[in-house]
Structure 1
Amino acid sequence: IRGHVLFFQELSKDIYSTIRKHQYNGRTPRFRRIRGYTELYTSDTVMNNPKFVKAAIIKQEEAYNDKIYYFFREENPDWPKNAAAPRNVSRVAQLCKGDRGGTGSLSAAKWTTFLKSTLLCVDSDNDRHFNQLQDVFILESANWSETRIYGLFWNEWEYSAVCVYSVGDISKVFRTSPLKDYHEKLPPVRPGQCLEGEQQTPHETFKVADSHPEVARRVKQEDILFYSKHRYQQIGVHRAPAADGGTYSILYLATGTVKAAPCLASLPFGIIQPFLSPAGVRTMTLDSERKELFVASESEVVQLPMAMCGAYKDSCESCILARDPDCGWINGRCTSIVTVAPGTRYYLNCSIKSHHATYTWLRDNQTVAHCGPGHRHCIHFIDNMTDELYGTYSCVSQEDWFNQTLVTECLTKPSNVKMLLEEPRNKMAKDWATQTSLSLWLGLLHMAAVVLLTH
């Protein structure tokens, strides 16, 4: 149940949960380790009616210093005594993964390294504040401090925004900030400090952290990537290389239907309903290697390609202005451009629209696979990518006299990726294309494309 259950399991078989256990004060939400070195739960004093969102383990240079970061929103303790304060605030909490509990009887079964900070998401251009965290996507990096946190927020008018943070900045806030409303000298073991080996947090340190769990400094976003008047509920992020040599973030934002849109709200967009019957998206998972997006409602699971180039309409302007690094204008169509390394496996998937039609995969207009009626997907599998297998693949359906192209993908070598821009056929598009290069358009925004799942 989203917002009430949060758990994950590592190779070490540790399991963490926010399921309320009635035998342990079931009315109070807690973050608990229910399987691992020892069972632990958060003290009832450190959170104020929290709504949990997401959690992740971030490994650092020394194993003992590995952290758990979890994200939640809670009632603001500064309200209503401060009428200007928001009623709800968004938080990031830090725990040491190796936390072994405290030395006193009251702290032996509790997390002793808990600290929390406020997550700020502010559009400084118009002073819009987004206080309600809805979802989080964590994009890991080989260097833990460069791992990025993408947060999806609402404001009081239910407008949405996406703000991005670095784990390095979050870690620095917890390591260096004073505790809020605490004005005495800190104990030798600082609250939130991870300890090596079998050491446990001293009781003096636990008492300070338990009574002052919030740090004074707030975590500020590196950037606000997206702002919309629509109310989105889930986020996924994919980093993709583009033809200009840069790497761009593609956001996937979800409620119900699939909406493929560029960053600028005034530009055209396409809408795709992923489910057979209208339904909200309950979960969303990205497979970055296969470039597939899996969305699930209460009764269906649907597989979608990340490059939904067909949603940009068959218009050169819509395709190029979408700034989707996976799409390009080829042979009069907005086409998925996929880089496939030699020797690797790859499959092309064509979803069946009609069970009375036959489906054919073509490579450069030559038949390579055929599917008769009755299939749910027409899949062409490439077991070993070689030079002669690169080219433009199209899935064409035929039903009686009616033919249509459903999917087009251009498979290219990584070193030869090019965005192909066909000569536009009307004067307006021709003038636009000659005045502005694709690389310039790609460089105008921090994100090259946004694919949105929404109403």
Structure 2
Amino acid sequence: MRLTGYRKGDDPSSLKSEEKWMKDPRFVGLSLVDDLIYMFFRERNAQENPDIDPWISRIGRVCKNDQGGSRQRLLTKWTTFLKARLLCNNPVDNVHFNRIEDAFIYKFPHDSEARVYGVFSSNWKGTAVCVYSMKEISDLFGCSVFKDFKGSIPTDPRPGTCVNNTKVLPDQVLAVVEDYPEMESWIHPIGRNPLVINYQNRFKKIVVDSVVGPSGNVSRVLYVATGDGKVQKVLETDHSIFVIAELMLLKEPASILSMSLDSNRVSAKKFLYVTSAKELVRFPLVQCEKYDGTCGGCVQARDPYCGWDSQIKKCVPVTPDSKNVFQDLEKGDSCPQAKAESWFPPQGADWFSSWLEIPPNWPVLPLPLEERLPVYLSCPKQSYHAEYSWRFNGHKQLPCSKNDDNCLLFLSGLSESDVGSYECISNERGVEDRHAVYLIQDNGGSSIYLSRVALSSVPMAVICLIWQCF
């Protein structure tokens, strides 16, 4: 996005930037904060060195009520424009992320700390999310010296300060803005390190939501779009970063062009809007029902929108007024009662006949043996961090044949040797859960029966004949 100026309201006149203020700028976002307009862009590096990145990331600002300067100077130009360099680098690997791709200003009433979240890429490898304090940014614009300016900085007002009428600003103030709008000091991220680094899927877009938990603590949730059209849902607490899930929101894989939040609602009504060249998707931020119905599954997810209600024994949306709701966002430790709520069957040779019952009206798929039909057994993944596999007849471990959003088990051609039980198992930090169970039964004739056993705690899985699924 290119930007050379702006027009205020119905005023037919427009203000423009001086060409020398920005060198071939690429704008990635604009945000209004109080009486200031913040702009995020990258511009060409004045140092033309093949060994350094040709781009520099910037944050600029201009007063909302800027009316232009005097007849002698900056008459149709911004009179309050200032800019500073945004630094985002990983000191450990000595990787500099110099190209800003997107920015989001985080400012919620219940969180006193306003922040800037920026997505940056490197010329050589990887992308990163860096976070900056809005207070530090404001202090830098208000206190830093002006780069290459050698004189005495005017103080009545300081260059870049918002005033009622910019047309009467003193000439010495306008002269500094005209010739020296860049701050000498650089803006470093909080903690002097990136919040998140990704050397595989490149980050492209970011928005950030805020969640107030039952104890009044504030958590931040980052939604970061990757180059392959997925969205990572990331929990940020005061002490840790945790990827809750990786979401595929588009029907067709494509580059995500924009993301926006509708979060000025009660928690259960928040939405994320995602657009591509062909699609617009509205995604509810609160989906506590998707967790597996146990306290352990709900708490291990570390989803700040959700908590385990010990009275009704369900994973429910949280509010600041929630009672009897358990969360552990720092560690995701299972609830003390998780083992008692486990729905694993009792041990024994005949446990399938006594514990796993196929309801009378449950769909059963008869398959002729002589055709040796290929089949996929499907198991939707519920945790980004768990390891998924299949267990055959209670003991033999089978890996996922396809392992993306679903753990799929491919049976190339059903025969008598395939008769038995197939359980989809996840293991996360030593806690094992079952998500789907299928039974293949010999009916004593020329066909076998394929059924999915009813497990009320998990969503219905899908039985796929191979030509029906692909």
User: TM-score scaled by structure 2?
Assistant: 0.60
Deviating more after overlay: 42-51 vs 201-210: 201-210
> Which residues in structure 2 correspond to 1:31-430 (within 5 Å)?
31-33=5-7, 35=9, 38-59=13-34, 66-80=35-49, 85-105=52-72, 107-142=74-109, 146-187=113-154, 189-197=157-165, 199-223=167-191, 224-229=194-199, 230-243=201-214, 245-255=216-226, 256-260=229-233, 271-288=246-263, 289=265, 290-308=269-287, 319-328=298-307, 337-339=316-318, 414-416=321-323, 418-419=325-326, 421=335, 422-424=337-339, 425=342
Contact kept? 1:268, 1:312, Cα under 8 Å = no
3-state SS in 2 of match to 1:169: helix
Cα distance change, pair 238–430 in 1 and its aligned pair in 2 (3 A): closer
Point out which structure has higher relative CO (alpha carbons under 8 A, 6+ apart). Answer: 1
3-state SS in 1 of match to 2:253: coil
Cα distance change, pair 312–123 in 1 and its aligned pair in 2 (3 A): farther
| Unaligned stretches of 5+ residues in structure 2 | 328-334, 345-425, 432-470
3-state SS in 2 of match to 1:74: strand
1:320, distance to aligned residue in structure 2 (A): 3.4
Rounded to whole Å, the distance in 2 between the matches of 1:31 and 1:311 is 47
Cα distance change, pair 227–76 in 1 and its aligned pair in 2 (3 A): same
Letter in 2 for 1:68: I
User: TM-score scaled by structure 1?
Assistant: 0.62
Rounded to whole Å, the distance in 2 between the matches of 1:160 and 1:99 is 35
Letter in 2 for 1:240: V
1:146, distance to aligned residue in structure 2 (A): 3.6
3-state SS in 2 of match to 1:163: strand
The 4+ residue runs of structure 1 with deviation greater than 6 A are 261-269, 310-318, 426-433
1:44, distance to aligned residue in structure 2 (A): 0.8
Deviating more after overlay: 149-158 vs 247-256: 149-158
Rounded to whole Å, the distance in 2 between the matches of 1:204 and 1:116 is 19
3-state SS in 2 of match to 1:414: coil
Deviating more after overlay: 205-214 vs 135-144: 135-144
Rounded to whole Å, the distance in 2 between the matches of 1:144 and 1:67 is 20
Rounded to whole Å, the distance in 2 between the matches of 1:148 and 1:49 is 27
Contact kept? 1:261, 1:322, Cα under 8 Å = no
Rounded to whole Å, the distance in 1 between the matches of 2:18 and 2:103 is 24
Question: Paired residue for 2:363?
Answer: none
Letter in 2 for 1:134: E
Letter in 2 for 1:200: V
Contact kept? 1:312, 1:319, Cα under 8 Å = yes
Cα distance change, pair 318–227 in 1 and its aligned pair in 2 (3 A): farther
Cα distance change, pair 198–251 in 1 and its aligned pair in 2 (3 A): closer
Contact kept? 1:261, 1:312, Cα under 8 Å = no
Cα distance change, pair 153–324 in 1 and its aligned pair in 2 (3 A): same
> Which residues in structure 2 correspond to 1:437-452 (within 5 Å)?
none
3-state SS in 1 of match to 2:19: coil
Instruction: Give me the CA root mean square deviation.
Output: 3.8
3-state SS in 1 of match to 2:118: strand
1:414, distance to aligned residue in structure 2 (A): 2.1
Percent sequence identity over aligned pairs? 31
Contact kept? 2:36, 2:61, Cα under 8 Å = yes
Larger Rg: 2
Alignment deviations for residues 99-129 of structure 1 (CA, whole Å, 9 cap, x no partner) = 1211135511000111100011233444432
Alignment deviations for residues 177-236 of structure 1 (CA, whole Å, 9 cap, x no partner) = 111111122345432122234653333322332222211011111243222222011001
Contact kept? 2:82, 2:183, Cα under 8 Å = yes
Contact kept? 1:99, 1:200, Cα under 8 Å = no
Rounded to whole Å, the distance in 2 between the matches of 1:135 and 1:304 is 20
Rounded to whole Å, the distance in 2 between the matches of 1:145 and 1:245 is 13
Alignment deviations for residues 24-81 of structure 1 (CA, whole Å, 9 cap, x no partner) = xxxxxx132354555211111100111101112221xxxxxx221111111112343x
